[in-house]
A and B are shown apart, each in its own frame.
Chain A
Amino acid sequence: NAGVMQNPRHLVRRRGQEARLRCSPMKGHSHVYWYRQLPEEGLKFMVYLQKENIIDESGMPKERFSAEFPKEGPSILRIQQVVRGDSAAYFCASSREPGQGTGELFFGEGSRLTVL
């Protein structure tokens, strides 16, 4: 089952450390999206990437957060100098076309970041 693969599933960091979350899209999918779910909230869009390009980062915090999708390898969401408020579930999704035209995205199982 070559679904969207995310790792690590769980990550614990102390304040000030860096967190790196990885996402491999489904086979045949070249569009990757990152969403964040804070506790007791719905998922919120962060960024949309294609290979080597950031298409839409309108949902990304202005500081400490960055994302990339290199020509080879998985997409990476990087959070520098983490703070407790970054504790959340980070979901990656992929699609063959942008949102398939209907909003149907294929989500991974998520990476749960805990900042101590």
Chain B
Amino acid sequence: DQQVKQNSPSLSVQEGRISILNCDYTNSMFDYFLWYKKYPAEGPTFLISISSIKDKNEDGRFTVFLNKSAKHLSLHIVPSQPGDSAVYFCAVIRDSGAGSYQLTFGKGTKLSVIP
């Protein structure tokens, strides 16, 4: 029972263009949504998050969009850089605050930014 789905295992984008990573979830009760980035042989690192009460959050080149009616989350990276090449995990929290350690992750999308 996959509660968080990242349907694209991989994505290739030219340097300077926009990268769009997508994530779908099944439970409308999820409270908080996050993106983590992971390089090979390293642990995931937090990238950006959004609360369920918002529909957009921006941090530099990274913007996360939340469409609650469609239960869809996306991460936009613009412009894409070769150093952005990594696996990106979408994650959700059912209960923010005291329960916000229990993240449910998608399987990840491997982004390759071509110079």
Contact = CB atoms under 8 A, between A and B. Distances in A.
Contacts, number: 83
B64 interface: no
Interface stretch (B13-21, B69-77, B78-86, B97-105): B97-105
B101 A48 contact: yes
Interface in A59-116: 59, 91, 93, 95, 98-110
Contacts of A45: 101-104
B96 A102 contact: yes
A19 interface: no
Interface in B17-41: 32, 34, 41
Interface of B: 4, 32, 34, 41-46, 49, 89, 91, 93, 96-108
Interface of A: 4, 31, 33, 35, 40-45, 48, 56, 58-59, 91, 93, 95, 98-110
